[in-house]
Amino acid sequence: MSLKSFVRIVSLALFIFLLSAPNVLAAPGPRAPLPKLLPAPPLPAVPSLGAKAYYLIDVQSGQVLAQKNADAHWPPASTTKLMTLYILLQEIRSGQMHLNTMLPISEKAWRARGSRMFLKEGTSVSVSNLIQGILVPSGNDAAVTVAEGVAGSTHAFVSLMNAYAKRLGMNNSHFTGVSGLPAKGLYVSAHDLANLAEHMISEFPQVLQYASEKSFTYNKITQANYNKLLWIDSSVDGLKTGWTQEAGYNLVATAKRNGTRLIAVILGVNPGPPSTAQGYRHLSQVAESLFDWGFRFHTTRKLYPAATSLAKVRVWFGSPGTIQVGPAQALYVTVPKGRYSQLQARMQLPTSLQAPIAKGQTIGRVEIRLNGKLLQNVPLISLQAAPRGGLWLRMKDTVLSWFEKH
């Protein structure tokens, strides 16, 4: 090759390089807040609850606002029935059952000890009534009927309960029955119950229509909901109470105020005394103080809508030559009120990629921190595809990448 030809090739490559140089944007921070005029107020301590364990979580952001002994094992009492109900709802979603499906009532269900919806042996009951009978009067007979209708026996149904617990990551829970009556090896954790409640609400939001009913009439017998929060707080719309001599008073509750939904799990309030209306009212007051603390002193904001472009990344040997990246789902963050302006966002992204890149492919991550504390760490995906380019594009990028490396 002559010197003149070599100079022409190098000049052409430099020209292409100048036209096609990678353009990677710097990682942006959160949306600019309003000017902070006053220092952020201090965050008050969690109120004294007198519970063995508790857990408070924001549903949108998934952030834990308060917790105590969150992974400790504790007798669930009738909060067990949330898992029983969750499996029934899965059956409905799969089409195996419907709300108007009629299930037979066995002698075992009719003889179930403890709280009941007063089913009659030899008759049938609709799935819709069973849902109500579990959530309002906490019917043990309803739970047994569901188990036998879904799996043929309570023993087989319990194996389903533990399989679903494993699938949901409830690593500190184990079920031995369908209703929560005391038994060796039966335990849950506050964290696990919150996880179960979060899945139930997100997958089956219609369940809250049942859980928020203050009373239920079946077989000409009207019973009040054990969740007394429904009477004292209009923002509460679920979910389930429980009591045994061993467990004391337990509660899995949820409330929504001004678009923000919290889930509170409270276990072991006043263990020992008999189940009384006064005991449930006290449990409700304990839960209300935790909800008030959570809503009053925290705010949840949407940082980025789903599929919002946060940055561009250079793609070699592909078309287009850069791709947009962003979160697959809307990104929410919960912070103490007055501290939104202190958030920091940092993205972890490669400086460049090689085609092909599929739409939705994980490219990196974004971290959201508050005063150094990690609040969110979510993946960033490609918002567009970048298939492998043609021969000329690949040749061009080969030359450009060579110059970039050298």
Q: Label each residue of 122-142 as H, E or C.
A: CCEEEHHHHHHHHHCCCCHHH
44 pLDDT higher than 50: yes
Task: Give Cβ neighbours of residue 143 (< 8 Å, ≥ 6 apart).
Answer: 80, 81, 84, 112, 134, 178, 179
Tell me, yes or no, whether 330 and 265 share the same domain.
Answer: no
Q: Which of 298, 323, 348 is the last residue of a domain?
A: 298
Q: Which domain holds residue 81?
A: 53-298
Tell me, yes or no, whether 392 and 260 share the same domain.
Answer: no
**Which tokens hold the place of 286?**
């304990």
- pLDDT-based confidence at 9, cuts 50/70/90? very low
394 pLDDT higher than 80: no
In this predicted structure, what is the pLDDT of residue 406?
58
3 pLDDT higher than 70: no
For 167, counting Cβ atoms within 10 Å of its Cβ (0-12 exposed, 13-18 middle, 19+ buried), the class is exposed
146 or 41, which is more confident? 146
Tell me, yes or no, whether 147 and 19 share the same domain.
Answer: no
Active-site entry in 61, 106, 115, 138: 138
Q: Which of 266, 298, 330 is the last residue of a domain?
A: 298
DSSP code, position 74: B
Tell me, yes or no, whether 152 and 10 share the same domain.
Answer: no
Report if residue 327 sits inside a domain: yes
166 is catalytic: no
284 pLDDT higher than 70: yes
Tell me, yes or no, whether 162 and 128 share the same domain.
Answer: yes
228 pLDDT higher than 80: yes
Tell me, yes or no, whether 355 and 238 share the same domain.
Answer: no
Tell me, yes or no, whether 144 and 184 share the same domain.
Answer: yes
Active-site entry in 78, 106, 173, 284: 78
Tell me, yes or no, whether 342 and 204 share the same domain.
Answer: no
Here the CATH number for the domain that contains residue 284 is 3.40.710.10
Task: Give Cβ neighbours of residue 90 (< 8 Å, ≥ 6 apart).
Answer: 164
Number of domains in the chain: 2
pTM summary value: 0.86
Report if residue 36 sits inside a domain: no
Within 152-276, residue ranges assigned H as helices are 154-167, 190-203, 207-211, 229-232
40 pLDDT higher than 70: no
Cα(158)–Cα(175) distance, rounded to whole angstroms? 7
81 is catalytic: yes
Tell me, yes or no, whether 13 and 97 share the same domain.
Answer: no
Active-site entry in 52, 61, 81, 275: 81
Tell me, yes or no, whether 320 and 240 share the same domain.
Answer: no
Q: Which of 232, 266, 298 is the last residue of a domain?
A: 298
Tell me, yes or no, whether 323 and 393 share the same domain.
Answer: yes
| 77 within 8 A of 247, measured Cβ to Cβ | yes
Q: How far is CA 86 from CA 197, 199, 355, in A?
A: 9, 9, 43
Side-chain-side CA neighbours of 389 within 13 Å: the count stands at 17
- pLDDT-based confidence at 1, cuts 50/70/90? low
In this predicted structure, what is the pLDDT of residue 15?
41
In this predicted structure, what is the pLDDT of residue 266?
98
Cα(180)–Cα(162) distance, rounded to whole angstroms? 14
Tell me, yes or no, whether 182 and 320 share the same domain.
Answer: no
**Which tokens hold the place of 183?**
């038994």
29 pLDDT higher than 60: no
302 is catalytic: no
